[in-house]
Amino acid sequence: MNVVFGPVPSRRLGRSLGIDPIPLKTCNWNCVYCQLGRTTPLCNERRLYVPRETILEQLDQALSGPLKYEIDWITIIGSGEPTLHSELGQLILDIKQRTQIPVAVMTNGALLYRPRVRRELMAADAVIPSLDAGDPFLYRKINRPWPRLTFQRHVAGIRIFNQEYGGKLWVESMLIAGMNDSDQALFDLRDRLEEIEPDEIHINVPTRPPAETWVQPPPPERLERACQILGESSRIISKPARLADLSSLPRLKETILEIITRHPMTEEELGEVLPGCSREDIREAIASLQAAGEARQVDRLDRRFWSSAKARYPLH
Ligand code: SF4
C-alpha cells in the first residue's frame, strides 16, 4: 500500500496530501477516541519504519501526477505517531527541497520533550500537537500513554518547542462528553495552554469511529462553553470546505483502502471524495475489499464506517 495518499479533505488544511511514514498502528499513546482503533501493543521506539527513499519516490509521483494542483498542504500524519520515524527531520528537509507546498506535522507531541525531536520538526511550516487534558489524571485516562511518558514532560515539551519554533503551532484538543468537557477540566486545560501560548487552539470532537464504544462528542452548548473558556485563539474544527476529487486516481479499490486505513469513512463520505465514481462502484469496491479481508465495518456514533481490517476496534 502507498505511504503517500490523497489529497484528502482535511478540516483545517484544505486538500492535504498525506504522508504516512509509520505502519498501522504504531503509537506511544492509546487514546480512547483514536479513529484508528486501539494501540496494541504500545510502542515508543524510534525506527526507520519506512525507508525515506520509498516515501520520496511516491511523493515525486504525486507531485507530478494528475492532482498536483489540488494540493494545499503536505501533511505528515501517521497511521500512528509520526515522530517515531527516526528520519523524520531529514524527510521534512527533503520535501522542502522538492516543493514550496507547506508541510504540516500532526503529532501527539509526546516526544517533544526530547531536544532531537524538537530540532527535527523545526523545518515544518506547521506543527499540530495534541493536548486533551489539563491534569495528569485526565491525561492518563484519555491518552493512555506509554508508562514513562508523563503529563509534565508532555506540557513542557510543547512549551519549550514553541519557544524555539518559528512556524505555526496549533494545539489540538479533542473534547469528549463527560470526560474533559466540564468547566473544571476546561479551566485546567486553559491554564496549561496559557503556558504553551500556541498560535491557535483547535477544538476537535470525535467524528470518526473512536477506539472505545462509549466515546461521544460533547453537546453543542459545551463546545460553545469550551470556546468561551479557552479564549479568542480557540476555534471549533468543522467539516472540510473544499473536497479534493480523487476520482481521477487509478485503481479505485486501492485508493479506497489507502483512504480508510488513515481516515475511516462512511460510504457517503467516500462518495464525496470520489464524486466521479458511482455509488454502486464504491459499494462494490468496499464489498470486494471486505471479502478479501482488507476492510471491515465499524459501527460507531450511530453511523457505519469502513476501516482497514487490521484496525482493532472492540465491539463493546
Ligand atoms: S489519536 Fe493519535 S496519538 Fe492517539 S492513539 Fe491514535 S494515533 Fe496515537
Distance 170 CA to ligand 1 centre (A): 17
Assess if residue 77 is contained within a domain.
yes
Residue 270 lies in a domain: no
pLDDT at 244: 56
- With a 6 Å cutoff on the Cβ, whether 28 touches ligand 1 is no
Q: What is the pLDDT of residue 240?
A: 55
What residues contact residue 302 under an 8 Å CB cut-off, 6+ apart? none
Name the strand (E) or helix (H) holding 19: strand 14-19
**Who has greater pLDDT, 170 or 250?**
170
Q: How far is the CA of 132 from the centre of ligand 1 (A)?
A: 12
Segments forming the whole domain that contains residue 129: 4-247
Q: Is residue 298 part of a domain?
A: no
Report the Cα–Cα distance between both ends of the chain, in Å, rounded.
Answer: 30
Q: What is the domain-level CATH number for residue 45?
A: 3.20.20.70
> Is 295 a member of any domain?
no
pLDDT on residue 248: 59
Kindly state if the Cβ of 34 falls inside 6 Å of ligand 1: yes
Residue 276, pLDDT score: 87
Across-strand partners of 299? 304
Task: Count the alpha carbons within 13 Å of 74 in the hemisphere toward its beta carbon.
Answer: 29
> Cα(284) to centroid of ligand 1, in Å?
30
Look at residue 5 and give its three-state secondary structure: strand
Residue 147 pLDDT grade (very low, low, confident, very high; cuts 50, 70, 90): very high
- 189 within domain boundaries: yes
Determine whether 72 is exposed, middle or buried from the number of CB atoms within 10 Å of its CB (0-12, 13-18, 19+). Answer: middle
> Would 316 be classed as within a structural domain?
no
Per-residue pLDDT of 55-93, as tens digits, reads 999 999 999 988 888 899 999 997 999 999 999 999 999
Asked, for residue 220, whether it belongs to a domain, the answer is: yes
Asked whether the predicted pLDDT for residue 134 surpasses 60, the reply is: yes
Of ligand 1's atoms, which has the minimum distance to the CA of residue 27? 8
User: Does residue 222 fall inside a structural domain?
Assistant: yes
Structural domains of the chain, count: 1
Q: What pLDDT is stored for residue 251 in this prediction?
A: 84
